[in-house]
Structure 1
Amino acid sequence: MNGSQEQRHIYYDRDLEIEAYQLSGIVQKFPNHFHEYYVIGFIEGGKRHLWCKGQEYDLNAGDLILFNPRDNHYCAPIGGELLDYRAVNIQSGVMLEIAKEITGKDYTPYFTKNVIYQSEIALSVAEVYEAILMDMSKLKKEEALFYLIEQILQEYSVPFEKIEKTGPNKQTKMLCQYMEQHFSENITLDDLASMIGAGKSYLLRSFTKEIGVSPYRYLQTIRIERAKALLEEGIGPIDVAGMTGFSDQSHFTNYFKEFIGLTPKQYQRIFTDA
């Protein structure tokens, strides 16, 4: 299947404040990265090899995928098979509101599994996607979304506070904070190494082990996440490229499509189109 037969769609629903995401006929690899939001998706067709937080999975049609914010992951096709994939992307604030409505208390969900093979919950994801795509009534969309989240909270979620997560050490946290604050600048490995008084080789090994992605991937992921927010505000891709530290629009477009699956302009249209 050639590029003209690929289907890449994201729909933003203003009632639910979530994204419905579809990739169809895709052979593209996705690099090691993470998102700042929850992802609930499923394989509709094709096969994929997924790496997530040090674990590997072979995915087939009907398999459910759950990513917490900052769960690092990457994937590649198996045997050249084309990927058909649907998902809903839910910002943390929206997820917290839904979880509180369902549980009656402040609840920060943490998905305990990243992959559930042949899950019936995939049908509920498809129902939410179709409700958004068909622009059904707000009642119908909310009902479908709440039903989906309730299923996952009951079966595959615990309060975030109950997860034993030591987190990165003080030095690594400092490096992350620095890159998040200076993402538009030309940060070098020497800059980062000098901050913690360590060699570059040690920095690369320790950072990647604790965060799950290399310093370069971390910086590029932060840049892409910031770029998405600027595009959603209506700022042009050329300006966004400069504001987020990319050398030119061509590099920005290539990286954005590699991470998101869409060009910056395609992504922006879901917020600017009527």
Structure 2
Amino acid sequence: MSLGAERRHIRDVTAWQPRVPGVVEVFHAHYTEYAYPMHVHDAWTLLVVDDGAVRYDLDRHEHGTPHGTVTLLPPHVPHNGEPVTEAGFRKRVLYLEPGALDTSLIGAAVDEPDLRDPLLRRRVGQLHTALAHPGDELEAESRLVLVRERLRHHLRPRPVRQPHPDERPLARRLRELLDERTAQGVTLGEAAALVHAHPAHLVRAFSTAFGIAPHQYLMSRRVEHARRLLLAGQPPGEVAALSGFYDQAHLTRHFKRWVGVPPGRYARTSASLT
């Protein structure tokens, strides 16, 4: 492989858990030939793209990240992502606790996730700068307050789109079951028996209601859990078992698919900042 081809595949990733209430994770990345599969987060995803652009689907609608915007993706809403050009994209992400913004704002965030606001963009950049310097936690908290205030300024409470009434209770029960058994896991037959539905109908109801298949939802929740454990200093071998993966190789395969780098490399980026 030529040097040019190697460079096209380079991915730089840095992630850490700051000691700032409300911020679950800080994630900086440069991706070239990489696409996120459909997945969910249990946190609010606050994203800025510094170079390039991202195309993504959110709630079955296509969106993009034009230059200078701030993107806010709500928790539990499936989305994916891929670079618009061969040059890829460079992004900075803050994962905010679910309670950082009121759930009544989820509908507005789904309808208009990309916000054109130079002041908000500047405040998010200032927050990232503060989070990168241990000892500046008070400044980071103060800047986070201003960011949340600006986000509320843009968003107005709107009703969250609901699935068909016949599908909603069944899909919700399965999601609750998957959330309860993220690490333990559950077979489709067991789930169908517990929620009293035919397996095929159960899969269709969940996919129709939430825009993601049950197995994709469960795997993305496991990867999310693994990220938190890795950033807390747990070794990948232990993380695999605690997150519900068969072994470390199983964790690595799915972690690379969702995050773009192996779990060991992801953990080392956090260790280098402590």
TM norm structure 1 = 0.82
SS at structure 1 position matched to 2:50: strand
Counterpart of 2:33 in structure 1 is: 27
Counterpart of 1:102 in structure 2 is: none
The residue type equivalent to 1:36 in the other structure is D
Paired with 1:186 and 1:91, the residues of 2 have a C-alpha distance of: 24
Counterpart of 1:223 in structure 2 is: 222
Paired with 1:260 and 1:91, the residues of 2 have a C-alpha distance of: 19
Paired with 1:233 and 1:23, the residues of 2 have a C-alpha distance of: 19
The residue type equivalent to 1:175 in the other structure is L
Judge which range, 163-172 or 72-81, deviates more: 163-172
| CA displacement at 1:220 relative to structure 2 | 0.6
Q: What are the Cα deviations for residues 83-131 of structure 1, in whole angstroms up to 9, with x where unaligned?
A: 11112111124x16xxxxxxxxxx5562413432543122221111112
Residue segments in structure 1 that go unaligned for 5+ positions in a row: 97-106
Tell me: CA distance 1:182–1:140, structure 2 relative to 1, closer, same or farther (3 Å). Answer: closer
The residue type equivalent to 1:115 in the other structure is P
TM norm structure 2 = 0.82
Paired with 2:233 and 2:28, the residues of 1 have a C-alpha distance of: 22
Q: Tell me, yes or no, if the aligned pair for 1:44 and 1:85 is still in contact at 8 Å.
A: yes
1:51 aligns with 2:57: yes
1:247 aligns with 2:246: yes
Judge which range, 171-180 or 142-151, deviates more: 171-180
SS at structure 1 position matched to 2:56: strand
Q: Tell me, yes or no, if the aligned pair for 2:48 and 2:91 is still in contact at 8 Å.
A: yes
Q: Tell me, yes or no, if the aligned pair for 2:8 and 2:87 is still in contact at 8 Å.
A: no
| CA displacement at 1:185 relative to structure 2 | 4.1
Q: Displaced runs of 4+ in structure 1, greater than 4 A? A: 164-168
| CA displacement at 1:17 relative to structure 2 | 5.2
Q: 1:41 aligns with which of 19, 38, 47?
A: 47
| CA displacement at 1:215 relative to structure 2 | 0.7
Counterparts of 1:71-82 in structure 2, within 5 Å, are 71-82=77-88
Counterparts of 1:103-114 in structure 2, within 5 Å, are 107-108=102-103, 110-111=105-106, 112-113=108-109, 114=112
Q: What are the Cα deviations for residues 37-89 of structure 1, in whole angstroms up to 9, with x where unaligned?
A: 11111121112211001110133332221011112100122232311111211
Counterpart of 1:10 in structure 2 is: 15
SS at structure 1 position matched to 2:117: coil
Paired with 1:224 and 1:255, the residues of 2 have a C-alpha distance of: 7
Q: Across the two proteins, how many residue pairs are aligned to each other?
A: 260
Counterpart of 1:115 in structure 2 is: 113
Q: 1:163 aligns with which of 159, 176, 180?
A: 159
Judge which range, 185-194 or 26-35, deviates more: 185-194
SS at structure 1 position matched to 2:67: coil
| CA displacement at 1:231 relative to structure 2 | 3.1
Counterparts of 1:190-229 in structure 2, within 5 Å, are 190-229=189-228
Tell me: CA distance 1:61–1:188, structure 2 relative to 1, closer, same or farther (3 Å). Answer: same
Tell me: CA distance 1:192–1:3, structure 2 relative to 1, closer, same or farther (3 Å). Answer: farther
Tell me: CA distance 1:15–1:256, structure 2 relative to 1, closer, same or farther (3 Å). Answer: same
Tell me: CA distance 1:63–1:185, structure 2 relative to 1, closer, same or farther (3 Å). Answer: same
Q: What are the Cα deviations for residues 173-206 of structure 1, in whole angstroms up to 9, with x where unaligned?
A: 2222222233334533333334445444332221
Counterpart of 1:67 in structure 2 is: 73
Q: Tell me, yes or no, if the aligned pair for 1:109 and 1:153 is still in contact at 8 Å.
A: no
Counterpart of 1:172 in structure 2 is: 171
Q: Tell me, yes or no, if the aligned pair for 2:162 and 2:209 is still in contact at 8 Å.
A: no
Paired with 2:232 and 2:139, the residues of 1 have a C-alpha distance of: 28
| CA displacement at 1:234 relative to structure 2 | 3.5
Q: Tell me, yes or no, if the aligned pair for 1:41 and 1:87 is still in contact at 8 Å.
A: yes
Q: Tell me, yes or no, if the aligned pair for 1:11 and 1:132 is still in contact at 8 Å.
A: no
Judge which range, 9-18 or 25-34, deviates more: 9-18
Please give the root-mean-square deviation of Cα atoms over the aligned residues, in Å: 2.7
